[in-house]
Structure 1
Amino acid sequence: MVIYIPFGTKEDGKIKLDFKTEEQKKKDNSLNKIIEKGKLVVLTENSTVSYFVYRGQKMGFEYEVLKQFAKDLGVKLEFRAVKNLDHVIADLNSGKGDLIACNYTITRDRRDQINFSIPHLRSSQVLVQRKPEDWKKMSSKEIKAHLITDPVRLAKKKVHVWGESSYYKRMVALMDEIGDTIYIQPEDGNIETEELIRRVSEGTIDYTVVDKNVALINKRFFDNIDISLELSIRQQIAFGVRKSDEQLLDYLNDWLKNFMQQRLYSFLKHKYFDIGTHTRKAMDQYSSLGGGKISPYDEILKKEAKKANYDWRLVASLIFQESKFNPHIESWQGSYGLMQFMPETGERFGVYPGSPPEVQIRGGIKYLKRIEKNFTEVKDSIQRMKFTIASYNAGPGHVLDAQTIAKANGANPHIWDDVVEEYFLRLTEPEMLAVKGVKSGYYRGNMTYRYVREVFRRYNEYKNLFPG
């Protein structure tokens, strides 16, 4: 067995890693691959602890921790919500992500399949149960008399838990400890832990088991639940890593050891677990956890996007990019409103600074539809929308020029990803501008290149978190 120690230096903000042997370098190059692709992909759940979207802004304790890690690596961070957590380890091992971050408890069974980072949280498991109907009129002693305060009293009770979780295993062990039967109802991984808490609060189920850190947050939203009965010792919560990715694991562990001694880590724990301001946002109607709305304009977006045969979530992503859903914003260049019309274009589509949101959105979608007509030869609908959105940002002329240059160089002018977008970035080069048919001239394409990627990255997140 080859023992190695990765060590790193930073050049221009990028990590450069070396190894003791060429053999190990060939065997495990996981962190270098992440740095080369410029992106850290994290498999997660839609929850207050891990990751949620509030008014278009990404939040969550684990998200904010790993945002700092990605910043240290000099790469972008992409959180992908897994629809069924039963498959999260298989998804990681098949390469769909680089890390797991879903308030994941370290267990022996999981350790057989993946490695874990050093724990970034510790939490016991607690029983979530409902207080009696008229609990607000009762004394605390009277309330307590209606609740299970001893694990032994779980005998013959039905407890709903995620079937592939450490909660299920704890319930099985608890049956041995109390010498009686607990009716454990295993739930699929597509039912989130916080959904089970909500069901207890609403009375559709009586009991569930969750980590105390999750329960404490949710008690702020559901004041009729009790979480006082602890059912386990404090267990370790960590990030999951593929067995083969030792290089990534070593660097992550070194980084976590340092980060958890910093004030920012303490602040993030306080922000999410001790104070209610940020976690209350999780149950806001404009959160992926609460009302399931992206913006105050979802119904308008759905109606107007349907007319154009567009996915309303894609238009929502573009609007967030332009204005963060502020219908009154005006830029220093003179653009205004949700979709940041320039005055001349706005007038053409009947959109003015004082126009109501419905008019702004309707006009913006009509403008997108008008732009799209430039790219009817692009048959793939997603690629066609990427050309359209690039043109929304830069104007169709420069995008058409990039297509012309791509074709002249023997590349497919109907594929934006990694083809036309690359020639778009070269609209500053004299030899490119000299290609026959180029009409709009010099253009710095970096901003538009990032713009398209950002709009579609957010769109994919919206599709995961906001169904329909």
Structure 2
Amino acid sequence: MIRLLPLFLLCLLCSCQEEEEETVEIERCHRDWEEVQKDSVLTILAENGPASYFIYRGRNMGFEYELLHEFCKDMNIRLQVRMVNDLDEMYELLANCEGDIVACNLTITENRKRYVDFSTPHILTHDVLIQRIPADTDTVNQLVTEIEQLYGKTIHVWKNSSFYEQIVLINDKLNLNLTIVPTSGELITEELIRQVSDGEIDYTIADENVAKIDLNYYSNLDISLKLSEDREIAFALRKGSGRLLDTLNFWLNDRSNRSTIGEVKRKYFDRKNLTSKAQQPYSSLVPEGQLSPYDEIIKEEAAKIGWDWRLISAIIYQESKFETWKTSWAGAFGIFQFMPSTASAYGISRNSSADAQIKAGVKKLNKNFQQWLEEIPDSTEAMKFTLATFNTGRAHIDDARALCEKYEKDQNVWDDNVNKMLLNLSKPKYYRDEVVKNGYCRGVETYEYVIEVLQRFEEYKSAFPEPGD
């Protein structure tokens, strides 16, 4: 048995994606816990992977995403995701306050500590060899159980990852005569793992925690050969966001959260029923994957009115999560949650097909949008009013606008104007005002609805990009 520990200590690079040789100093902005609380939103920078973040049937998933989702729930703030694939871009976005936390399965390294602060580690992991389990009839190719058995083999590894640096060190030290094929950064770890499973390549290297997830849906793989010592995985935060770091660390270390954190870990690393979704057709992890079963009809209808199909998808998810059979307590039904009276006006019923329901929903959205454009020429603002109208109806929006006029706010601007007056419609002082014609409104639902739809739209755009994005 060859002793490998000294080799491991030579490798101080990270195990997730790229580690830059030179880092350009970026002018830093300031955004800490106070600003996060004020905005009531925490933005994370995440990569498209099961250990970080992915979308399945329109739903946000991923181990690190769910950990931070639980944190945000406890802090009573919203979690927003910006999906990026280039680690250098993540650093720049973090430094520019376009994200608050990097959630990319990042290994804590001394080099990275120069540029970011790390949270309390949430996982220990190590590098493993990814290889296919030989068939019983295969007497030539045998399972690699010792490093020296890699002699003369070919291994594909991302050129700018620590995996590449480490396998080069091992190859040179042990004279393994390996053929190391460097791959580009566009070929993510999960894709290399798939290629091993499909027999397109023989070997690659991955973090054990990522490989463990992939093992749930690639049953012909072996990940038992350890290639490094254990290393700590954590969230990365911008230097200068000390209160955010302290708040997150307190939550991660709080004994009362151990069961929650443990359950999220078990969900992604120990159970097949959830992690297998990552490679099903409606996953952002699948090349050319679909967002929902209705992408084709949504794209067709969106093109007719000049809308982005991903915005319509975000609305549908908000309404029904793409469940055509869903019925609300108030009697709204179907994929767009039409009330029966409205549905009848658009020629559909509970028995109508999903295609018919989508056509009716898009027709109604466009009608509302065109009506708002007549009063609000700014299409971005008109879109927000359209979403609000779709959720709560025109009458309460008109009341909120009337209040804006009375209290000298801009009735043609949604944020910090009409949406704030809509919130006030739950207070007697406002819903009893003489300018209000339709009484009480629980405005918080519509207030949140507009924010959540537009946020989901941005997440869908990142996960399912189109030419020109």
Q: Give the TM-score taking structure 1 as reference length.
A: 0.84
Pair 1:194 & 2:190 matched:
yes
Pair 1:210 & 2:210 matched:
no
Root mean square deviation, CA, Å: 2.8
> 1:294 aligns to what?
291
Pair 1:90 & 2:86 matched:
no
> 1:359 aligns to what?
356
> 1:422 aligns to what?
420
> 2:62 aligns to what?
60
The one-character-per-residue Cα deviations of 1:38-70 (angstroms, maximum 9, x if unpaired) are 112111112111222222332222122222222
- 1:8-407 matches, within 5 Å, as 30-131=32-133, 135=135, 137-138=136-137, 142=139, 145-152=141-148, 154=150, 158-179=154-175, 184-259=180-255, 262-290=258-286, 292-376=289-373, 377-406=375-404
Q: Does 103-112 or 179-188 show the bigger shift? A: 179-188
CA contact (8 A) 1:28 1:247 kept: no
SS in 2 for 1:397: helix
> 2:443 aligns to what?
445
> 1:14 aligns to what?
none
SS in 1 for 2:206: strand
SS in 2 for 1:425: helix
The one-character-per-residue Cα deviations of 1:394-436 (angstroms, maximum 9, x if unpaired) are 2123324434544565544433223332233334565687687
Q: Percent identity?
A: 42
Residue 186 of structure 1: how far off its partner (Å)? 4.6
CA contact (8 A) 2:156 2:181 kept: yes
**Cα distance between partner residues in 2 of 1:38 and 1:109:** 32
SS in 1 for 2:60: strand
> 2:17 aligns to what?
none
Q: Give the TM-score taking structure 2 as reference length.
A: 0.84
Residue 311 of structure 1: how far off its partner (Å)? 1.5
The one-character-per-residue Cα deviations of 1:146-194 (angstroms, maximum 9, x if unpaired) are 4544434556655433444332332343244324665555544443221
The one-character-per-residue Cα deviations of 1:332-363 (angstroms, maximum 9, x if unpaired) are 32221111111221111111111111110101
**Cα distance between partner residues in 2 of 1:47 and 1:409:** 48
Residue 232 of structure 1: how far off its partner (Å)? 0.8
Instruction: Quickly say closer, same or farther: Cα 1:371–1:243, change in 2 above 3 A.
Output: same
CA contact (8 A) 1:44 1:100 kept: yes
SS in 2 for 1:253: helix
SS in 2 for 1:108: coil
Count residues with an aligned counterpart.
435
Residue 87 of structure 1: how far off its partner (Å)? 1.8
The one-character-per-residue Cα deviations of 1:93-145 (angstroms, maximum 9, x if unpaired) are 2211111111111122212211111211111101223455xx2x437xx47x4
Instruction: Quickly say closer, same or farther: Cα 1:181–1:455, change in 2 above 3 A.
Output: same
Paired amino acid for 1:264:
T
Paired amino acid for 1:288:
S
Q: Does 289-298 or 311-320 show the bigger shift? A: 289-298
**Cα distance between partner residues in 2 of 1:382 and 1:288:** 27
**Cα distance between partner residues in 2 of 1:96 and 1:179:** 46
CA contact (8 A) 1:85 1:190 kept: no
> 2:461 aligns to what?
463
Q: Which runs of 5+ in 1 are unaligned?
A: 1-26
Paired amino acid for 1:64:
E
Q: Does 246-255 or 228-237 show the bigger shift? A: 246-255
SS in 2 for 1:338: coil
Q: Does 159-168 or 304-313 show the bigger shift? A: 159-168
Instruction: Quickly say closer, same or farther: Cα 1:296–1:203, change in 2 above 3 A.
Output: same
CA contact (8 A) 2:217 2:275 kept: no
The one-character-per-residue Cα deviations of 1:235-291 (angstroms, maximum 9, x if unpaired) are 111111112122222332232222597233232222211221111121222222247
